[in-house]
Amino acid sequence: MSGAATLVPLPVILPLCAAGLKLAIGARLERVQRFISAAVLLAVLVVSLLLLIAADQQGPQVMNAGGWAPPVGIVLVADRLSALMLVISSSVTLSVLVYSVGQGMADNDETTPLSVFHPSYLVLVAGVSDTFLAGDLFNLYVGFELMLTASYVLMTIGGTLARIRAGATYAIVSLLSSMLFLAAVAMVYAAAGTVTMAQLPARLDALPQSVAMVIQIALLGVFAIKAAVFPLAAWLPDSYPTAPAPVTAVFAGLLTKVGIYAMLRTQTLLFPGSRIGSVLMVLALLSLLVGILGAVSQTDLKRLLSFTLVSHMGFMIFGIGLGSPGGISGAVFYVAHHITVQTTLFLVAGLIERRSGTTDLQSLGGLARLSPALGVMFFVPAMNLAGIPPLSGFLGKFGLLRAGVHDGGALAYVLVGGATVTSLLTLYALAKAWNVAFWRAPTPEMCAVGTVLESTEEEPAGGGRGTSPGGIGDWPGGLRVLVPRRVTATFGGQEITTSSSLPVSMAGATAALVAFGLAFTVLAGPLFGLTDRAAGELLARSPYVEAVLHR
């Protein structure tokens, strides 16, 4: 085992140990607890970067827990794909943690974020890392269950009726998919005698095609639920928008991509040749079109973004369905891009809620004038998601469309057209949200949430108007300034504190993710080179198998 291989379990172990320590501390030592969380996630990011470098230069890094070789022991594997996913996820989770600390401080809410949010959040990070590193199907199932346990707690923080209802829906769907996953794992073990992914290719290839097909459909069905692929995505738009902004952001950015990662891993390693690639491409087309049509019809920003999330899963399924080196490479690139951009947009939605008290587009207006920085932080990732050249969203979509044209099949060409239409409709939906929320004048409805209030009757000596307590003051030049007050969030039902100036840590974390998303454009060449190598390694299968089995 190489030196880098000894680092493989750390992205799982460090967050779990920190979560246990923070639960033992409770609500005491607030600054120490924040430091622990940030330091652990920073360490996970550093370890992930080291694993990515080692996996790219030396091949897959393998760690056998307790020294027990598979199939007896638990095996963790960091190849190019899993290491890249670790780097992206750890960067995003660190930024969201900083954002959440700023939100708790702005709300003067010290106890709940520290005693409940942070331990649950760290367990969620451990579950995501375990899923990316799992070398057997049962450990993959364990990673999913870690995420489920933590995500239900995070989704229902605050205890409002809307969040409990959404959390119950999410838990029911997740538990159902977990039961189906466990049944699928049992089917694999009954048919192949192992659940170690490195041993399964040879054994599944030897099975009757009908048996392998049933196993493939069972696993894909489970992962499609996790990834919110149409028609198994109806739960997502009603569940995600009710959670607190940091929770919604990390759920939208990461949890659905865990399902996509599992599809990439199993389709290339266990079921090569795209036996049901045409079915995946049909589902990709339906996800693209149904999701974006749902987004166009929304009047709330969070729900709009939730439907674009469902829609853009279709781009990734498109690449997996093609099953070609270009398709897999494009899918991996788009996963990395989408994790970052979608997380950023949901954090911006949280800042909009912080600034105006609502994300209802009909009640918003004038934000570009009131907060230019917020306007920039929304506009850049929105255009990136829409695929405006030369941003990474355009490059990722172009790679997938090029792979579709290279495939040459009728269904591939239909998907190329559907993906193009989806990109245009995404641009329309996000441009509409920009025009309504940022460009037009403030609407009367904003008075109801404390963004625009009548001025005081008293006028100061200078002739200008004063500021009404807890409301808005009219100042020279017609500028209206928001004064902090408690309002109820649009969907969650939890009170938040509005603020005329965005909290530094919240805005800083969001700006960092905006810059991280732009870095994909600047570094698109090296990143596409990495995803091409990752696709080649996935389709070859032998590097993964030989590294785990030491052949």
Domain span holding position 48: 4-443+489-549
Q: Is residue 459 part of a domain?
A: no
Query: Which of 151-155, 316-320, 495-499 has the highest average model confidence (pLDDT)?
Result: 316-320
Helices 256-269 & 524-540, crossing angle to 10 degrees? Answer: 50
User: For 78-92, 418-432, 434-448, 501-515, which range has the lowest pLDDT when averaged over its residues?
Assistant: 434-448
User: How much is the average pLDDT of 472-476?
Assistant: 41
Question: Residues 130, 134, 139, 143: is their CA dihedral positive or negative?
Answer: positive
In percent, the amount of the chain with pLDDT more than 90 equals 55
Q: Is residue 222 part of a domain?
A: yes
At 536, list the tokens: 């080649």
Q: What distance separates the 2 farthest-apart alpha carbons in the chain?
A: 89
Confidence band of 314 (pLDDT split at 50, 70, 90):
very high
Beta bridge partners of 78: 61
Q: Is residue 114 part of a domain?
A: yes
Q: Is residue 417 part of a domain?
A: yes
pLDDT of 104 = 66
CA-closest candidate to residue 498, choices 380, 378, 367: 367
Q: What CA–CA distance (Å, rounded) separates 70 from 194?
A: 9
For the chain, the straight-line distance linking the first and the last C-alpha, in angstroms and rounded, comes to: 13
Confidence band of 368 (pLDDT split at 50, 70, 90):
confident
Confidence band of 395 (pLDDT split at 50, 70, 90):
very high
Q: Is residue 183 part of a domain?
A: yes
Confidence band of 447 (pLDDT split at 50, 70, 90):
very low
Torsion angle, CA of 108/113/115/118, rounded to 10 degrees? -150
At 387, list the tokens: 């695929």
Q: What is the CA radius of gyration of the chain?
A: 24
Tell whether pTM > 0.85: yes
Q: Is residue 71 part of a domain?
A: yes
Find where tokens 């965005």 sit. Answer: 502
In percent, the amount of the chain with pLDDT more than 70 equals 85
User: How much is the average pLDDT of 24-52?
Assistant: 87
**Which distant-in-sequence residues (6+ apart) come within 8 Å of 314 by Cβ?**
229, 230, 283, 284, 285, 286, 287, 288, 289, 291, 418, 419, 422
Label residues 170-199 b or e (16+ Cβ within 10 Å = b). bbebbeebbeebbebbeebeebbebbbbbb
Whether the per-residue pLDDT at 114 is higher than 70: the answer is no
Eight-state DSSP code of residue 69: P
Q: Is residue 430 part of a domain?
A: yes
Specify the number of domains making up the chain: 1
Find where tokens 């970067």 sit. Answer: 49
Q: Is residue 478 part of a domain?
A: no
